[in-house]
Structure 1
Amino acid sequence: MSWVTVCDEANLPKGTGIAAWVNGQAVAIFDLGEDGIYALDNIDPATGVSLLARGLICDMQGELCVASPLYKHHYQLSNGVCVEDAQLVAQPYSIKKQQGKVLVKASS
C-alpha cells in the first residue's frame, strides 16, 4: 500500500464531499474541518452506484455519517459501516494532510 497525493489541501472543499480517482478506484473524500478528514469507497454498497461523495453529512447516534443520495442509507465516516444494515460497508481509506497536500493510502 502506498500514499497517493490527491490534491492540494487548499483545493479541498470543507463540509462536503468530493470524489477522486485513486489507483483506479473512485474514493469519496470528506473534509469536515475540526471534525476530521475521511475517505470511503465512493460506491454505495446498496446500489453499486458511484455517488457517496454527493451525499449529505449528518450525525446518526453520535457518529458522523454520509447519507447516500439514492436510498438514504447512512454510512459511518469512521469505518464505512451502514447504520441501517451492518452488512453493507463502504470501504474506508486512510487519509491525511501533509505539507499542504491531501494523501490517501491505496492498494497498489
Structure 2
Amino acid sequence: MSTATLQWNAVCTVKDILPNTGVCALLEGRHVAVFRVGETQFFAIDNVDPKSGASVLSRGLVGNLGTHIVVASPLYKNHFDLATGECLEAPEHSVRAHTVRIEDGRVLVALG
C-alpha cells in the first residue's frame, strides 16, 4: 500500500519523545508504542505485550540484538524488532508494526 493512501494519525511532536525511549498512543482504539531511536529514527509497534496482555511495550528498554533494533518487554523481557514487530524469542508472540513519518516536527503513525 502506498504511503499516500494511508490514514495518518498525529501522535505528538518529535521533541515529546526523548532519544531511545517510547511513548504510548491510542490510535483508532488500538494501543500503539512509538519509539525514537537516536535522534532521527522512529518506529511504531503494538503496545500490548502478547504474553501478558498488558499495554507496556512503550516502557521497555530500547537497544539492539545483532542487526535488530529492539525493545525488551518490561514484563517477560522478550525482544521485539521495532521494524517488523517480530518477537525474536517466540515468533508466535509477534506484534504488528506500523508506518511512521515525521512532518513539520510532528510524529505521524499509520496503522499497518
| TM-score (normalised: structure 1) | 0.91
Matched AA of 1:97: I
What secondary structure is seen at the aligned counterpart in 2 of 1:53? helix
Aligned residue for 2:20?
A: 15
What secondary structure is seen at the aligned counterpart in 2 of 1:103? strand
Root-mean-square deviation (Å): 1.5
- CA deviation string 1:17-50 (max 9, x = no partner): 1111111111101011356110000001111111
**What is the percent sequence identity of the aligned residues?**
36
Query: Structure 2: which 5+ runs fail to align?
Result: 1-5
Tell me which moved more, 94-103 or 33-42.
Answer: 33-42
User: Which segments of structure 1 move beyond 6 Å, counting only runs of 4 or more?
Assistant: none
Count residues with an aligned counterpart: 107
Does 2:104 match 1:99?
A: yes
Q: 1:80 aligned to 79, 85, 97, which one?
A: 85
Distance of 1:17 and 1:80 partners within structure 2: 14
| TM-score (normalised: structure 2) | 0.88
Distance of 2:60 and 2:100 partners within structure 1: 19
Query: Structure 1: which 5+ runs fail to align?
Result: none
Distance of 2:104 and 2:65 partners within structure 1: 32
Matched AA of 1:96: R
